[in-house]
Structure 1
Amino acid sequence: MVGWGNINLFDFRGRLVHGRVCVRLQAPPKGCEDRLYPLGHTGYSSSGSTSSSVDEVDTTIEVEFEERFSDKTVLFPDTGQMEDYARYIIKLDKGQAPSPTPSPSPLTTASLAEMAQRDPLTPVAAGVREGVWRARQGCRGVPDSLPCLVEAVRWASRDQVSQLYLLMKEWPPLSPEASLELLAGPSADPAVRCLAVRHLDRALSDDALLQYMLQLVQSLKHEHYLHSSLLCLLLRRGLCNARLGHIFFWHLKAESELWPRREHILAMMEAYCRGLGAAGVVGLAQQVTAVATMARLAHSVRERAEGTKKTEYLKGKLEQTEYSHSLQHLPSPLHPAITLGRLRVSECRVIDSARCPLLLAWHSSGDGTPHPPAVIFKYGDDLRQDMLCLQILTLMARLWAQGGLELPLIPYRCQATTRDQGLIEVVEGAATVYSIQRVSTLGAIQVDSSQLYKWIREKNRTASKLDQAIDNFSKSCAAYCVATFVLGIGDRHPSNIMVSRDGMIFHIDFGHILGNFKKKFGIPRERVPFVLTSDFLLVIAKGAENPKDSQEFQRFQQLCGKAYLALRHHYRLLAVLFCQLVNTGMPEVQSVADVSYLRKTLAVGVSEEEALQYFQNRFHEAYGGAWTTKLDWFFHCVKHR
């Protein structure tokens, strides 16, 4: 299989296509290699080397339609005509004699309510679909059953499609989860998508809409035509809310090289920029130019600078007007409400990593205001997966708060700017666990576990501040223990875990998720469900000698259990958000099989008591097997000293 493509038989005006049409092919889907390539991979790249993907070559085919109706205009029926036809069909059905073969009873309201909460990763069975369609009138009493009804429709049947349109005309309000599922589901019908967008518009404030922006931008790929109700919603909200519009633009910019039809995404960005007006476009253009300058700098540092002299090379470049002019006095690409001043060249550096990320810092734009957050520019990494994890972490914190659990997180800002570049906010005053441990030789080699507690105590010298810092640490640690377990986040070495001065712990770098853990000689490096080492337990127990026997540890374990059970109630939402990003090019969200990892970690399909016992067993594995984590951390220290 070289590639796949599809076209609309009717154009955006509803007219039947005729004549010659050029179809651009896309790369074959992931996870179906045995069926797609029964004889092995075939194809070629533009360089002549063997390739299993068409990502590197622009492949198109030309299709010619018969000119039978070239002298006439054939139009697709509009919504009004479909509804009139549905009324005609219903009237005919009522006048028909009853069938001698009794049909099965339609599903009850209770059954429909259960169907509405089904696992979105599992398609509705063929036999059940018939029952859902027969119960279509009762579906309006369970509004969130609409995704099941849409899946039950036979889309080749004009009778069923027209009746669905009539039903949807007065459909009760949908939950955001159901609306998002419709936008990600198997149906690409414009009327269904328009209904989902209409209900999202009514249900979500700007802040809530911002929470789902990553998925909504991806959903634009599934629209039949450039003009759509979803695009109109995002443009209208984005032009009325500067922060929402800023993030909408940069999400589009990051996808511009990956969009199925590039002329469409360029038109979307142009529409947003035209709506901003001249003054708004100037600031946006400065940001785009600054990011392009950062990319040139990063490339130059990687290609020309020598080992230990990379930071000196960077500072020398930043002193040159060619680079400094476009990097100063502009709105921050991460915080558009903050204006960046002059570069603090003395604090800019190249981070010691294989990709050579750049850390850039600025003065404030006015007197007396604090310095804006420093920024890390990464070149060569796809940060969209990091954006997804940070989005889900923010959502988890909101879901916990709605359930009465105070579990604070620090979801720092992160924005991909292209498929392999992006910006990350630096959290002021935070340090990695590794940098805290390496102050002591015994701490660095994982023999002394007290360095983290000593560091927090040093930063919080009064008793009240220390108690608050330990409380912050315990709650945020519980949040990240549950979140990293549920999301299957791997590569949790001490350089990927940070602590702020006020005791808040947080994780960074989400390159391995959904159980895709690193391996060494075929053996997974993560041998525990999540990180809970003696360093953490000592802080939670306020420095007690036997932290596992302390009351603080018991309360911490109970808090983790409550946080876990709270997330189980929102499995459907989490699964839908991940499913919308399948096949978008994210390295570890390639198929529904990847997303099914959530089903395992959230113990879907068992009782709450069984699920809690499952989590408690994983919890005991985490602190019981913490020595394996400490061993991994020891080798990390040896490698990076």
Structure 2
Amino acid sequence: MPPAMTNLMDLWAAHSQLSGEDLVTVDFLLPTGIYIQMDVPREATIQHIKLLLWKQAQSYPLFPSLGEMEGHMFECVNQAAVHEELEDETRRLCDVRPFWPMLKLVTRNCGRAERLLDSKIGVLIGKGLHELDALQDQEVKDFRSKMFRISEEKMQRVQLMTWSEWLQACFSPQLEPGGGATPVTDGVNDKQAEASLKVTMHFDQSQYIKACLQAKECPHLTLVQVSTVQAMFEKEISAIGAVVNRKSSNPPLPLPPKRRGPSVSQTVCVCVIQVRAGLFHGTELLCKPAVSSESSGRSEHVWNRTLEFDITVSDLPRMARLCFAVYAVMDKVKKQKSTKNSGKVHYPVAWVNTMVFDYKGQLKTGDIILHSWSSFPDELEEMLNPIGTIQTNPYTENTTALHIHLPDYNPHTILFPPFDKVRTRGKKFHIELKEIMERDPLSQLCENEKDLIWTLRYDCMENFPQSLPKLLLSVKWSKHEDMAQLQALLQIWPKLSPRDALELLDFNYPDQYVREYAVGCLRDMSDEELSQYLLQLVQVLRYEPYYDCALTRFLLNRAQCNRNIGHFLFWHLRSEMHMPAVAVQFSLILEAYCRGSIPHIEVLKKQVEALSKLKSVNELIKLGTIKNARSKTKEAMLTKEAMMTCLRQSGYTETLSDLHSPLNPSVLLSGINVEKCRYMDSKMKPLWIVYNNKLLGGDTLGIIFKNGDGTRGLDLTLTWCISMVLMMIHWNKMCLCRIVPYGCLATGDRSGLIEVVSSADTIANIQLTSSNVAAAAAFNKDALLNWLKEKNSGDALEKAIEEFTLSCAGYCVATYVLGIGDRHSDNIMVRSTGQLFHIDFGHILGNFKSKFGIKRERVPFILTHDFIHVIQQGKTGNTEKFGSFRNYCEQAYLILRRNGNLFITLFALMLTAGLPELTSVKDIQYLKDSLALGKTDDEALKQFRQKFDEALRESWTTKVNWMAHNVVKDNRS
């Protein structure tokens, strides 16, 4: 079966490229009711197609009633199955790629310039602005209105700048800080303070809980909106009704995965449904969760109960969130007569979160519909997911919907009080000075330690300001007095360094004032430093419950003032637009950026169009290889020829030439060297695109385009690259090690770009070239040194060996600390100048591969005897060189230990990024162990020396693995 194409136009495009056709039949619908079908060039612009249509329409009835051609524009149904207005008529038909070759001509409304800008922004960010217009969400409307006003004012200031002022503003290394947030301006009266928060869940009795009858499927719960909503102040309990769709009176329901229960063959299950709700501030549970009663086993399940929480409204923190979980309770009974092993299994079905206060600081009231999510992270406490998004699932058709009602406590709106009113309600405490111990970010605090830290909070401020995260974890967020004291303290707390302030953006610190304080500290970051942490800061946006927040404003301000930061902010956001939980939030930020950086739109638009072309080429290759799968030779010839023909077409040549590289916007990609382009022989057929570059003195530049290569694989590589850059910075200050960072950028759903490192080859190829027998190649210790001698001579060889030594030390320490797995001879490369570097980081944090239950990697890092042979310059007795290498490794390890908290923080900020091997704090524990945090430098160095000796002693196992890899590779070729 051929792979699924993006849409029918993709399939047609691939077919036309293989067959040499240049025309496509398009149906045109005119506003006069006339239907015209005609063939148009697939490379033609929308403007040219409209001109052809106008000439053709002259011979049809009612033509005079159309009026002027400029008064009309085309609409189509795009790939997302929504209407798109083709206001930008410079686009080509092959770039528009409608779902079906049909264009509708419509009368253009007034304000063409604004509509053209909206159209360009919609195409650029991958989400039509009419979709945002259609959202009935006041928060979205208010955010867009505010950003539109700010962007308009900014563009007016830009227009008044001279060229030198504009260049300095857009590309200067140091920028001015942005503004802060505006507090809410009302309070909570005493009567309201004594009220309890009540939640009532309301489900329609006419809906169904669909329980799968097959043991391998998961039970699916569907609950939708009630036909009549009861509006009450004091909550009477609404009925929750559902019917089980079943074939027998008591069918067995599916079990959760093996880790959560016994096999189906051993168990008979009876299922009931419950709902659990909890109030959280960050990951802290503010009070005991509330649980509904169990549903009965009859056809209808009805709950009549109010869910109440043991906390007063006045004690609710501003960022409190209400978390729900729907789960099945299965009575587990062994088939044997004995019932000693009877019990209950709780199987999560769906979860959803909402904020208690809205974006204006108003306490939410009334009926709310929450469409839930069905994917559960591992090891959730109480089956509630406070770290999850507060956005409801946009795919409402097949999702569980919770209908909740939040009571009205007062006829007037209840607003969270601003800082000045909160402060006056707090009590003053006498502080005794005591010593505070600092720990790494993963360390847990017991209650006694929290009490001590809170008691000595002023001592913390004066002597340990960097201990602010520990103080925040010690606050009783369910007590109004503690919150008041904390907010007052924040006003006088010394400013932290930007790197220390990053931790305060973690999910554990959701308080609005804390996050504004953290962003205030980030304003001291240079543009270079901000670029290093930009990926993490974009992921942190997921933790922000409201669109308009200090972090969003900070990132927009810095991005609109520096083109390089704006470039990567754009791509980090756009690459996640396919994810429903952040699609609206990220599209709003992208729209705001584009409106405030209008000159940048055309540059980014060119890149988006180029990537669309590369995706079409990739799909063409996949289609061609499947059609000719029976003959590999025929496949290679026909597909390579089709690829070349495609790249030489004017539409592709024009779009793919003279654009700024998405990997590095300072590099101008002048034109493709078609003869050197190829596709790689792996499942997803990545493209190897070679560019000529005038700015590089005629040298070529290679880029790998991947499409469909793993859900988050490129992001994993991205995370690695960021860490590598940080390590390089830390190590280069001491001139200890070399790291070869290469560009890597996720550009969309399962797609992205990787920079090709020039003049480099894999260890596997170097070994295989030196031996006629693949099995023996891995054991030829002279192969690598001889290869370097071929590439270098005299002083250049000595310099290359020094570069190899320093880079090998860097990657030994880096791969050990980060737990990089799957290290074979095809993902370790060497440049002709001597630098060793690693590629393809699919496994991190100690997630090493195994086969048949046997670990494939038994060493903490790769240090083979052929590496040591190079380091010792081919002289077995050259212990001095090896001693220097070992010392480089040890010093680099100690430097990383001193920055251990930073690395833990950066990985913690990526917890919601969707990386398969980074989903919980337990995954980050690997870093704490590898860096030996909590130990002295002497103890840590002793541990590393043991690992170093182990890597050296067990290096023969690496050679065996490489031998097997070389044999498999040789058999495939």
User: Normalising by the residue count of structure 2, what TM-score does the alignment of the two structures yield?
Assistant: 0.59
Corresponding residue of 2:414: 74
Q: 2:612 aligns with which of 275, 278, 292?
A: 292
Which of 684, 687, 695 is the aligned partner of 1:358? Answer: 687
State the alpha-carbon separation in 1 of the partners of residues 902 and 457 from structure 2. 24
| Counterpart for residue 100 of structure 1 | none
Q: 2:425 corresponds to which letter in structure 1? A: Y
Q: Distance in 2 between matches of 1:187 and 1:16?
A: 20
State the Cα distance separating 1:68 from its structure 2 match.
5.0
Distance 1:333 1:466, change over 3 A: same
What's the offset of the Cα at 1:176? 2.9
Q: How does 1:227-238 map to 2 (within 5 A)?
A: 227-238=548-559
One of 410, 422, 425 as aligned partner of 1:85:
425
Structure 1 residue 398 corresponds to structure 2 residue 726: no
Structure 1 SS opposite 2:548: coil
Task: Give the letter for the 2:760 counterpart.
Answer: A
Residue 401 of structure 1 deviates from its aligned partner by: 3.0
Asked if 1:192 corresponds to 2:514, the answer is yes
For 1:634, the equivalent position in structure 2 comes to: 963
Look up the match of 1:533. 864
Aligned partner of 1:448 among 761, 775, 780: 780
Which amino acid letter does the alignment assign opposite residue 354 of structure 2? I
Cα distance, 1:247–1:611 mapped onto 2, change above 3 Å: same
SS in 2 for 1:438: helix
Matched residue, 2:80 = none
Partner Cα separation in structure 1 for residue 350 and residue 694 of structure 2: 51
Give the Å deviation of 1:292. Answer: 2.2
Could you tell me which of 704, 707, 720 is aligned with 1:379? Answer: 707
Deviation at 1:27, TM superposition (A): 4.7
Residue in 1 that maps onto 2:792: 460
CA displacement at 1:21 relative to structure 2? 2.7
Distance 1:352 1:79 in 2: 61
Contact 2:660 2:666 in 1 (8 A): yes
Indicate which of 558, 563, 575 corresponds to 1:242.
563
Cα deviation, residue 64, structure 1: 2.9
2:769 is matched with which residue: 439, 461, 466? 439
Deviation at 1:214, TM superposition (A): 1.2
Listed one character per residue, the Cα deviations across residues 111-157 of structure 1 (whole Å, up to 9, x for unaligned) are 32x32xx1211222122111111111112111111101111111111
Given residue 290 of structure 1, which amino acid in structure 2 is its aligned partner?
A
CA offsets per residue over residues 315-363 of structure 1, 9 Å max, x none?
2332234544422222211121222222111111111223321111122
Distance (Å, rounded) in 1 between the aligned partners of 2:655 and 2:372: 38
Structure with the largest fraction of helix: 1
Query: Structure 1 residue 66: deviation in Å?
Result: 2.8
* Structure 2 CA distance for partners of 1:261 and 1:438, relative to 1, 3 Å: closer
Higher deviation after alignment, 58-67 or 294-303: 58-67
Deviation at 1:394, TM superposition (A): 0.9
Q: What stretches of structure 1 of length at least 5 have no aligned partner?
A: 38-45, 47-53, 95-104
Deviation at 1:260, TM superposition (A): 2.1
Q: Please tell me the residue identity of whatever aligns with 2:800.
A: A
Shift of 1:514: 0.7
User: In the alignment, is the contact (CA less than 8 A) between 2:767 and 2:784 conserved in 1?
Assistant: yes
Partner amino acid, structure 2, of 1:570: N
- Secondary structure at the counterpart of residue 701 of structure 2: coil
1:76 Cα deviation after fit = 1.2
Quote the Cα distance in structure 2 between the aligned partners of 1:257 and 1:238: 22
- Is residue 437–residue 452 contact of structure 1 (8 Å, CA) maintained in 2? yes
Determine the C-alpha separation between the residues in 1 that align with 2:953 and 2:582.
52
- Offset at 1:259? 5.5
CA contact (8 A) 1:334 1:413 kept: yes
How far the C-alpha of 1:611 sits from its partner, in A, is: 1.5
CA distance in 1, matches of 2:487, 2:773: 66
1:529/1:618 contact within 8 Å kept: yes
Tell me if the contact between 2:692 and 2:701 (Cα under 8 Å) persists in the aligned partners: no
C-alpha contact 1:215 1:580 (8 A) present in aligned 2:
yes
Distance 2:360 2:720 in 1: 39
Matched, 1:600 2:929: yes
Equivalent AA in structure 1 for residue 908 of structure 2: C
Give 1:162-241 correspondences, 5 Å limit: 162-202=484-524, 204-241=525-562
| Structure 1 residues 189-222: Cα deviation after superposition (integer angstroms, max 9, x where no partner) | 11110001101112x1110111111111111111
Opposite residue 645 of structure 2, the aligned amino acid is G
Q: 1:580 to 1:639 in 2, by over 3 A?
A: same
1:562-581 equivalent positions in 2, closer than 5 A? 562-581=891-910
Distance in 1 between the 2:398 and 2:809 partners? 47
Contact 2:828 2:836 in 1 (8 A): yes
CA distance in structure 1 between the partners assigned to 2:779 and 2:398 by the alignment: 53
Kindly provide the amino acid, as one letter, of the partner of residue 883 in structure 2: Q
CA-to-aligned-CA distance 1:242-273 (integer Å, 9 cap, x gap): 11111111111122223624211100011111
CA drift at 1:435: 1.7
Of 722, 726, 741, which aligns to 1:411? Answer: 741
Residue 147 of structure 1 corresponds to 469
AA partner of residue 131 (structure 1): L
Please state whether the residue corresponding to 2:469 is helix, strand or coil: helix
Structure 2 residue 734 is matched with structure 1 residue 423 = no
State percent identity of aligned pairs: 37
Q: Is it true that 1:15 corresponds to 2:362 in the alignment?
A: yes
Structure 2 CA distance for partners of 1:261 and 1:530, relative to 1, 3 Å: closer
Q: CA deviation at 1:58?
A: 5.4
Decide which of 247, 251, 261 is 2:572's aligned counterpart. Answer: 251
Counterpart CA distance in 2 for 1:639 and 1:560 is: 33
SS in 2 for 1:219: helix
CA RMSD of aligned residues (A): 2.3
Partner of 2:178: none
5 Å-filtered alignment, 1:26-105, equals: 26-32=373-379, 36=383, 60-67=401-408, 69=410, 71-86=411-426, 89-90=427-428
Q: Distance in 2 between matches of 1:396 and 1:443?
A: 38
2:703 partner amino acid? V
Are 1:177 and 1:576, in contact at CA under 8 Å, matched by a contact in 2?
A: no
Q: Is residue 2:591 matched to residue 1:270? A: yes
Give the stretch that moved more between structures: 215-224 or 549-558: 549-558
| Alpha-carbon contact 1:329-1:340 (below 8 Å) kept | yes
Q: Which moved more, 1:531-540 or 1:468-477?
A: 531-540
Range 409-418 or range 170-179, more displaced: 170-179
- Structure 2: 5+ residue runs without aligned partners? 1-347, 385-392
The one-letter code of the counterpart of 1:474 is T
**C-alpha separation between the residues in 2 aligned to 1:201 and 1:68?**
41
Cα deviation for residue 59 of structure 1 reads 5.0
Q: What is the DSSP-based 3-state SS (H/G/I as helix, E as strand, rest coil) of the residue aligned with 1:493?
A: coil
CA deviations 1:458-485 (Å, max 9, x no partner) are: 2112x21111111111001000000001
Please state how far the C-alpha of 1:400 moved relative to its aligned partner.
Answer: 1.9
Q: Which amino acid aligns with 1:458?
A: E
* Residues 262, 58 of structure 1: alpha-carbon distance in 2 compared, 3 angstrom cutoff: farther
26-35 or 190-199, which moves further after superposition?
26-35
How far apart, CA to CA, are the structure 2 residues paired with 1:474 and 1:60? 59
Quick one: distance in 2 between partners of 1:624 and 1:25? 53
Alpha carbons of structure 1 residues 34 and 574: separation in structure 2 relative to 1, 3 Å = closer
The structure that has the greater radius of gyration is 2
Report SS of the residue matched to 2:425. helix
Partner of 1:102: none
The answer to whether the 8 Å contact 1:30/1:583 transfers is no
Distance in 2 (alpha carbons) for counterparts of 1:56 and 1:362:
46
Contact 1:443–1:449 (CA<8 Å) still a contact in 2?
no
Q: Aligned equivalents of 1:261 and 1:440: distance in 2? A: 51
Q: Is the aligned partner of 1:561 residue 2:890?
A: yes
1:281 Cα deviation (Å)? 0.1
Q: How many Å separate the matches in 1 of 2:579 and 2:881?
A: 49
What amino acid is the match of 2:751? Answer: Q
Distance 1:594 1:56 in 2: 34
Number of residue pairs the alignment of both structures matches: 599
Change in CA separation of 1:492 and 1:486 when aligned onto 2, cut-off 3 Å: same
Structure 1 residues 216 and 337: CA distance shift in structure 2, 3 A: same
Cross-structure match for 1:101: none
Give 1:302's aligned residue. 622
